[in-house]
């Protein structure tokens, strides 16, 4: 979607645009559920620290910037602590940031810019879950070009663990079956719906069951024993409200009470990287400070 003249306004060029990382699928919500994480992707065309990286034309942020109507001759610079290829939505955040930056520089207001960014990024991603979370923040539900964000209950954080070795989304999708049984589809649809009910009502006790999946997680976890072992360790803790394979993996994520987050992180602090992250309540937008790792 290109932003039309009716949406244009006298907005200043943004100095830095940021979009949050995301954890998608959340177990059974294959390609439709997402959670925004406070780990930013930063993009700029004007002012930026000298240590920011140049975005080559093939970089997802640059591709989205041009796809959203941005000038391909503009030099884009980026910085982000989101680990690429780990299932934390690096490409989704980059594409949302690029498309939003193009829309804002074209005169779009914030809301119109976000709508444009979501549509462009979801199309480039091939699925809308990461793009929705990075665009709107919070807990998101996406179906095609429609997405809605719901706030999470307060007092929770997300513990993420990822190994040194990355996973390609395309490679991870190749391990999935072309067909699923009616029983497995029904199982996962019910639990995906339970995720939405749990967040909408604030009853997070439902999330252990809501994270169960029979569509994509079993095959992906079988291909990554390290992630499978980490997920089992997290689910063995009573402090963990929910745990799932983040996106296509290999990252594993867990929703926990904030006051117990560091202890949960220590459970899986062996081989790999752990981090406690807040849920990003805001999606893509502008800021005038640095993006720190």
By percentage, how much of the chain surpasses pLDDT 90?
75
Spell out the domain ranges in the chain. Answer: 5-150+280-287, 156-277
So what's the pLDDT on residue 163? 86
Confidence grade of residue 51 (pLDDT, cut at 50, 70, 90):
confident
H helix intervals, 137-168: none
What is the CATH number assigned to the segment(s) 5-150+280-287? 3.30.230.10
pLDDT value at 141 more than 90:
yes
**DSSP-derived pairing of the beta strands 146-150 and 139-143:** antiparallel
The yes or no reply on domain 156-277 and CATH 3.30.70.890 is yes
So what's the pLDDT on residue 237? 93
pLDDT value at 292 more than 80:
no
So what's the pLDDT on residue 165? 67
Q: What is the pLDDT of residues 6-46, one digit of tens each?
A: 333 434 555 789 999 999 999 999 999 999 999 999 999 86
Q: What is the pLDDT of residues 53-92, one digit of tens each?
A: 999 999 999 999 999 999 999 999 999 999 998 999 999 9
| Of 215 and 164, the one with more pLDDT | 215
Distance CA 98, CA 188 (A): 33
Task: Give the burial string for 252-288 (b: 16+ CB within 10 Å, else e).
Answer: bbbbbeeebbeebbebbeeebebbebebbeebbbbee
Q: What is the pLDDT of residues 110-126, one digit of tens each?
A: 999 999 999 999 999 99
As a three-state string, the secondary structure of 49-62 is CCCCEECCCCCHHH
């Amino acid at each position: 979607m290109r932003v039309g003249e009716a949406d244009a306004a006298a907005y200043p060029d943004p100095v830095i645009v940021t979009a949050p990382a995301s954890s998608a699928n959340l177990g059974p919500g294959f390609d439709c559920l997402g959670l925004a994480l406070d780990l930013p992707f930063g993009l700029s065309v004007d002012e930026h620290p000298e240590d920011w990286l140049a975005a080559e034309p093939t970089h997802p942020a640059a591709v989205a910037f041009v796809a959203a109507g941005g000038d391909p001759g503009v030099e884009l610079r980026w910085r982000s602590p989101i680990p690429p290829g780990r299932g934390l939505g690096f490409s989704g955040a980059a594409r949302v940031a690029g498309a939003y930056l193009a829309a804002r520089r074209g005169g779009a207001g914030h809301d119109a810019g976000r709508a444009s960014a979501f549509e462009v990024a979801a199309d480039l991603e091939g699925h809308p879950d990461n793009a929705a979370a990075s665009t709107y923040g919070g807990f998101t539900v996406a179906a095609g070009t429609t997405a809605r964000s719901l706030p999470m209950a307060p007092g929770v954080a997300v513990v993420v663990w990822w190994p040194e070795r990355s996973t390609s989304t395309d490679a991870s999708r190749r391990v999935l079956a072309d067909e699923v049984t009616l029983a497995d589809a029904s199982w996962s649809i019910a639990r995906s719906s339970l995720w939405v009910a749990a967040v909408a009502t604030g009853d997070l006790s439902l999330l252990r069951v809501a994270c169960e999946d029979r569509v994509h997680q079993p095959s992906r976890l079988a291909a990554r024993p390290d992630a499978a072992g980490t997920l089992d360790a997290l689910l063995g803790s009573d402090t963990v409200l929910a745990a799932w394979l983040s996106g296509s993996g290999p990252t594993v994520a867990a929703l926990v009470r904030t006051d117990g987050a560091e202890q949960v992180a220590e459970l899986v602090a062996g081989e790999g990287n752990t981090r406690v992250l807040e849920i990003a309540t805001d999606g893509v937008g502008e800021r005038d400070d640095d993006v720190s790792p």
